[in-house]
Amino acid sequence: MQSGWWVHDLYESSPVLLASWVFWVLLSIMLHELAHGWAAIWQGDNTPRDLDRMNLNPLTHMGPTSLIFFALIGFAWGMMPVDPTRFRWGRGGEAAVAFAGPLMNIVLALISLTALGIWLARGPVDTQIYDNLQIFLYAGGWLNFFLAAFNLLPVPPLDGSRILAGLSRPAREIIESPPVMQFGWMAIFALSMLGFFAPIERFCRLISIEYAQRVAMIFGA
């Protein structure tokens, strides 16, 4: 019976899936933000280190509000403070630092799905651990592909808007205008309510399955 609280409902469906979801959301957001921090430091900005943000504490990267939202509705976000005025490449550096987060998610997806493909080919079939690890690795794969695609949308405050602003002066003027900056999250919420992200999620699931199956074919040959 559905309770309306995602934790209860997901646990009733699959405790392994719930544990996998919590693990991957927390890890993926932390590493996404750390990637921004590493890229900023590489660009000459030590703000992430100066503010003691280069660690694996979820509270550091997500904050209490994000963690509360995650507990309530399964949605969370993170933030890494940087100072673009210190970047060696100027606006190009801003684009590079912004892209580092989604790139980390793509890397995590590929690692998880490569491991899934190998497990499908070589793991002990018809065992509980075989099924559970499939769930865990698949969740990490499609979720990180989705996080990369979501963050690359050119809507403030998502990374895609910072990439576009770093590469195009006209786009920067539009993105940094007060109305656009102010209503970015409202646009994201509206798109979510209209089902805009559902096809993106389905596509991420499909390419995750396709990639894992191809890896399994290679290692199962």
What positions carry a catalytic annotation?
Answer: 33
**DSSP conformational letter for 55:** S
Of the candidates 165, 161, 138, the residue with the CA atom closest to the CA atom of residue 151: 161
Cα separation of 189 and 77, whole Å? 14
**DSSP conformational letter for 177:** S
Cα separation of 131 and 137, whole Å? 10
Residue with tokens 């933000």: 33
Cα separation of 195 and 185, whole Å? 15
SS3 call for 192: helix
